[in-house]
Structure 1
Amino acid sequence: MKRLLAFLGALLISASVFAAGSDAVPDPNDTDERYVYNNTVLEIPGVGAPYESDNSVVFTAKADSRFTGIAFSFEGYKTIHPFRIRKTRDADGKVTDSLMFYILDRPKHIQSVSYRLIVDGLWTTDPLNPDKYYDENTGILLSRFTFSTTTPPETAVTKENAVRFIYKGTTGQNIYLAGTFTNWDPWIYEMRETAPGFYELNLPLPAGTYYYTYYSGMKALTDRTNPHKAYTADGRVASVITVK
């Protein structure tokens, strides 16, 4: 039922979400990632202070500017990420509400993020976020968002010369791990759901570089906890991890 409601809501909203760029959008081939992203967009209550949602941060702004972007301290403020516009329409297609938003996937090993907004070319703090501070190193006023939760687990090599594979999706799935270590057989290693929507598997592997992906049935699912990606010889997108 939740998926049906999200789908019906997406018919009214997702077609009206756009931006000058494809920044911060889900993998179009990953159904679960699209579901989480669309659900996050649908659940934005309105313009307000940034908040956490599904291991992401949702920033919002009024839709009264030609361009709104955001730049982060962990990137050295070198990249300006454009906000997207969400327009809500009624059954007749009439726009009843609009807002701008940006969804940031939580960076690894970071408990808080400092940032500035860029509104029609003007760099400024976030007027909707009361958490501001003066940075003596840069001499400017910054906005800050602090996560209320600890850094979530991620796929990583453990001290026992094994890899702890992590997948976050929806609960009740049958998730399998496949890669160069299984000759891409998607039925050898089934992951265990240790918490609702949270799957993991510890797999001993000798030193080397490995390509892998997750499967739900025959559908490939990317590892969103691992930013290292590559194309395999047959053109598929795979995650990459190295055991030393």
Structure 2
Amino acid sequence: MKHLFLPVCIYHRRRTPTLIAAMLVLITGTLPLFSQAEPVQPGDYSALPRQMSVEDHLFILGLSRAQAPVLRPEQQQIILTYEPARQSETVGYRNQIQYRSRGPRQVAVAFGHEQYRVLHAMDRSPEGVFFFFFDYEDSLLSEIRTLEYRFVVDGVWINDKNNPHQRRLLSGIQISQVPLPQAPLIPKETPVVSQTGPMSLREVTFLFEAPSGSLVYLSGTFNQWDPYLHRLKEIQPGVFRITLNLRPGTYFYYYVTGGRRIIDPLNPSMGADEEGIALSKLHIPQ
């Protein structure tokens, strides 16, 4: 039997990752107790969403039983829950019998798009149900169509029993799945800067909405304000796009259509030229 050794990281969103060596046994799907890692404690905010809302607080307070994954497309969130088996141990005090819950010490979730190398600590509700708010970006929707994950309970890898969507590997291991919504054709903010590009360049995608059949051009400091050098292509009725390879730095630009200059309505970052005319601003980090 061959074993595969992988470095596994316990990851807290607001803490420094602690790297531990762990043995992943592909045949049994188990992992030894990661007792040397940073323990998962109730009240660890790493499992909470980026911005807590009243709805989130009420959800956590009312979480008394584990359930199927909760998909929130508007918040771009998926809530995963895990409930340990209802086990107890009997403790006798003279003529009295007291029952004490025996819950897991550490519960985490690992995701397929991270190659299951990162264990995200789950938090616990007042009723003892573990939960994790998975926040995703539009960029993830363009990379994967299904979120795949497994729970790690005291070192043992298991699937989500409350999730009806499962994928079984040839080894017999079950992977829990959550179908993701389609990526929006136009993101909430533009331009979209990709980390990939030739040499030290970045791929920057500009998107603009205009009446179908319009001529839309992009003018900026990256093309010496030439109003006709970069024409956007209509990829769908009323949606225009162009992708440029740009070096890290700060740029200013606007769109030209129908003889008018229009700043990017989806870019909140703005600047102005010497005459005080508003311009859209783009910063590409190193």
Scaled to the shorter chain, the TM-score interval is 0.3 to 0.5
Q: Which has the larger radius of gyration?
A: 2
The alignment's TM-score, normalised by the length of structure 2, stands at: 0.41
Structure ranking higher in helix proportion: 1
The alignment's TM-score, normalised by the length of structure 1, stands at: 0.47
